[in-house]
Amino acid sequence: MNAAADAVDREADRLTELDSPIGDADHGTNLRRGFTAVRQGLRDDQPSGPGPVLLLSGRLLVSKVGGASGPLYGTLLRRAGKALGDESAADGRQVAAALRIGVEAVGQLGGAVEGDKTMLDALFPALTALEEALESGEDLADALAAAGRAAAEGATATVPLRARRGRASYLGERSVGHEDPGAASSVLLVTALAEAVGA
Ligand code: ADP
Ligand code: MG
Ligand code: MG
pLDDT for 96 equals 98
CA of 179 from ligand 2 middle (Å) equals 13
pLDDT digits (tens, 9 = 90+) for 120-131: 999 999 999 999
Instruction: Parse the chain into domains and list their residue ranges.
Output: 2-198
pLDDT for 199 equals 76
Task: Please give the backbone phi and psi of residue 144, each rounded to the nearest 5 degrees, phi first.
Answer: -70, -35
DSSP assignment letter at 23 = S
Residue nearest ligand 1's atom 19 by CA: 166
Q: Which atom of ligand 1 is nearest to the CA of 30?
A: 7
CA of 153 from ligand 2 middle (Å) equals 22
Inform me whether the pLDDT recorded for 66 exceeds 90. Answer: no
2-198 CATH fold: 1.25.40
Q: Which atom of ligand 1 is nearest to the CA of 23?
A: 2
Please say whether the beta carbons of 130 and 96 come within 8 A: yes
Q: Is 149 in the pocket of ligand 1 (CB under 6 A)?
A: no
Report the half-sphere exposure of 76 (CA within 13 A, side-chain side): 23
